[in-house]
Structure 1
Amino acid sequence: MYESILNHPNSLFGQFERLRREIDDLFGVSGLPSSIRSVAPGTVPAVNVGRTPSSVEIYAFAPGLDASKIGVTLDRGVLRISGERASGIPANDPKVQVYTRERATGSFTRAISLPEDVDSSQVNANYRDGVLHVSIARHESAQPKRITVQ
């Protein structure tokens, strides 16, 4: 069904998908797997999200941040990670000439939709070696149960 929506000539989603493909071609990223819901390459911080039978695991790759300036909130099934990355280059030094800036600087916020079975009262967040790891327990009712056959 999804493909038929995208391929319909009057579909707004189809028009967006065609535009995304044209932009990907323009910037040389065609052929990479993507989805209409994916974020652009280079979005800061990059995240990996997965789940185990008992938890949802989020890893945000954000080196060079002060852990005390990282914000993590969970509200209505959306996890928000926010912070700020300083440039590391003196801002008002006339002796410093900047030739290129490849590292993203400034404030950032990432919002990640979570499954409905997460338990917002059981969340742990740790920042180590530039990686923020957030672990959110899943409700016990979401846990797989072994049924004994009699």
Structure 2
Amino acid sequence: MKLFTGANLFTELERLQRQLLSVFDGLPSSLRSGRLDAFPQINIGSTDDTIEVVAFAPGLDPAKLEVSVDKGLLVIAGQRVTHDGALPEGTREYAQERFSGTFRRAIELPQHADPDKVQARYIDGCLLISVGKREASKPRAITVQ
């Protein structure tokens, strides 16, 4: 039996985690499924008139966020920068939970979403996106004659 100690244990755990994540890479994504390490994390809800998406993205410059809708996908993209010098020079890092770099998150929208009715705003570290629904899909009362 091989016993792992110190940094070697963390290196081996990271390798194992990468292998496990690669097994699930490329699986189809939808509103109801997502990767645990996806950034930004999202909540999705619906009203009678809109689909509401909240993307949790604290510390980002809203001017550098890109939101687009193409072929039924809502895409959120941007870059997350960490501050240099967070750890003193020469420190051996064994855990890093804050992701830095470019990101792109695609969310499949339902067919009744109207790509011409999208609004986005950034408030208190949250990107709030409202996607309108097509008029034909909204509930309506039918008069009985």
TM-score between both structures, scaled by the size of structure 2: 0.71
Deviations 1:75-125 (A, max 9, x none): 11111000111111249x984636342111111000011111222221110
Q: Secondary structure at the match of 1:141?
A: helix
- List aligned pairs for 1:81-120, cutoff 5 A: 81-90=76-85, 95=89, 97=91, 99=93, 100-120=95-115
Q: Could you say which residue in structure 2 is the equivalent of 1:146?
A: 141
Q: Distance in 2 between matches of 1:69 and 1:115?
A: 27
| Aligned-partner Cα distance in 2 for 1:138–1:40 | 26
Q: Distance between the aligned counterparts of 1:147 and 1:106, measured in 2?
A: 52
| 8 Å Cα contact 1:123-1:135 kept in structure 2 | yes
Work out the percentage of aligned pairs sharing the same amino acid: 39
Q: How many residues align?
A: 117
Indicate if the aligned counterparts of 1:90 and 1:96 stay in contact, CA closer than 8 A: no
Task: Name the SS for the 1:68 alignment partner.
Answer: helix
SS of match in other structure, 2:140: coil
Q: Deviations over 1:46-94 (max 9, x none)?
A: 1112211111111111111010111001111111000111111249x98
Are positions 1:64 and 2:59 aligned together?
yes
CA shift in 2, pair 1:41/1:143, >3 Å: same
- Please report how far the alpha carbon of residue 39 of structure 1 lies from its aligned counterpart in structure 2 after TM superposition: 2.2
Unaligned runs of at least 5 residues, structure 2 = 1-19, 22-26
Instruction: Say yes or no: does 1:134 pair with 2:145.
Output: no
- 1:9-56 deviation line (CA, Å, top 9, x unaligned): xxxxxxxxxxxxxx59xxxxxxxxxx9742221211111122111111
Q: CA–CA distance in 2 between the matches of 1:96 and 1:85?
A: 24
Q: Distance in 2 between matches of 1:42 and 1:77?
A: 23
Q: Normalising by the residue count of structure 1, what TM-score does the alignment of the two structures yield?
A: 0.69
Q: What value does the CA root-mean-square deviation take over the aligned residues?
A: 2.5
Of stretches 130-139 and 37-46 in structure 1, the one that deviates more from structure 2 is 37-46
Aligned counterpart, 1:75: 70
